[in-house]
Structure 1
């Protein structure tokens, strides 16, 4: 199982999913219309390391954080 955390203004509770790659995870999360919009603009971190490609493999126990863009001052 992979734990997925939705940070910042994404108003979703953390979930656990059985997936083997970020590509598979994107397919699962994209079924939620609200999440689909966030996925297009958010950064992704796996085990606290930013990822630039959804071809990243995932293994049991990995933690994926979805980080939407934010502004501050």
Structure 2
């Protein structure tokens, strides 16, 4: 299982899902109205390393974090 964390204002409990890559995760999350609106703007980290492509393979025990844009001042 892969743990998916939703950080910041996404405000959703972490999920444990059986997926093998980020493309599968993207398809799964597009079905969730609450999360779908964030997908285009979020950075994605796999095991605390930012990734720029959805072709990243995932293994059992990996952690994916969705990082929404942050504003500060």
TM-score normalised over the length of structure 1: 0.97
Within-5 A mapping of 1:9-20: 9-20=9-20
TM-score normalised over the length of structure 2: 0.97
Q: Deviations over 1:20-44 (max 9, x none)?
A: 0000011111100121110110000
Cα RMSD for the two superposed structures: 0.5
- Unpaired stretches in structure 1, ≥5 consecutive residues: none
Q: After the TM superposition, list the runs of 4 or more consecutive aligned residues in structure 1 that deviate by more than 2 angstroms.
A: none
- Unpaired stretches in structure 2, ≥5 consecutive residues: none
